[in-house]
Amino acid sequence: MTLLAAVGRIFLGFLQYAGRLTVFTGVAVAHCFRPPIYFRLILRQMVEIGYFSLPVVGLTAIFTGMVLALQSHTGFARFSAEGAVATVVVISMTRELGPVLAGLMVAGRIGAAMAAEIGTMRVTEQVDALVTLSTNPFKYLVAPRLLAGLLMLPCLVVVADIIGVFGGFLVGTYQLGYNPATYIHSSWEYLKPIDVISGLVKASVFGFVISLMGCYNGYQSRGGAQGVGQATTNAVVSASIMILTTNYILTALFFNK
């Protein structure tokens, strides 16, 4: 009986969380389109998310591309299908690994920073101060972050795709001894626009999710430094889980015909 009660409580807690998050998202999205729109703040967040994440995302991408080439080469050697390495690298990068890994890295970097910043503003009453100065915190704090996340993640993923494919190319030509011209040719040959486009759509969704979870958890944080710490952890964990879940759903929508 107590077990049932516990399960029920967890379920109710989840429903409550989902409800709050839905309301928060609705309000936040509505404020993205209603003036005043703070272009300076959007721009600042775009720089923060897009430009300053480049090193992390670039490093992740290059090593992923390199490992991918190495693994598929040794793996496919069993079927004497080494010729497929370039294709495997480019399709895995654009469809899956580019968006997902960039998303996870940015979630750790940006989601945490957003939750910490907004959470600190919440517990030190800066959010209340915004309200008393006739400024809507959703417009001033949340909307610019959501828009910047939505716009910048695809840009980061384009960069990640290119760097990742380049990493695969490096390993393929220098270490595995493929002919560079053939490698590039087979990279292009089987790549379809949908591979790239689906990756970019995913990236946009992930960017939105990362900003949303950062802002939501920051906004809800209570009770000093500990509350902010908790919010930061929750932001990263929930954003990562949501990235992996929505990734499956989007993949199913795109490719499951």
Partner 1 sequence: MTPKIQLIDVHKSFGPKLVLDGVTADIAASESFVIIGGSGSGKSVALKCILGLMRPEQGRILIDGEDVVNMKGRERERVMKKFGMLFQGGALFDSLPVWENVAFGLVQGRRMERRAARDKAMETLAQVGLGSDVAELSPAELSGGMQKRVALARAIASQPEIIFFDEPTTGLDPIMADVINDLIVKCVRELGATAVSITHDMHSARKISDRMAMLYKGKLIWVGRTAEVDKADNAYVDQFIHGRADGPIKMEIRG
> Where do contacts with partner 1 occur on this chain (CB under 8 A)?
117, 121, 124-126, 128-136, 140
Shortest CB 124 distance to partner 1, Å = 6
End-to-end alpha-carbon separation of the chain, Å?
A: 44
> Looking at beta carbons only, is 2 or 134 nearer to partner 1?
134
Amino acid at 36: P
**DSSP letter assigned to residue 136:** -
CA-to-CA separations, 18 to 7, 14, 130, in angstroms, rounded: 16, 6, 27
Shortest CB 49 distance to partner 1, Å = 16
201: Cα within 13 Å, side-chain hemisphere: 14
Shortest CB 120 distance to partner 1, Å = 8
> Looking at beta carbons only, is 117 or 161 nearer to partner 1?
117
* CB atoms closer than 10 angstroms to residue 20: 12
> Looking at beta carbons only, is 15 or 131 nearer to partner 1?
131
11: Cα within 13 Å, side-chain hemisphere: 6
> Looking at beta carbons only, is 128 or 189 nearer to partner 1?
128
Shortest CB 134 distance to partner 1, Å = 3
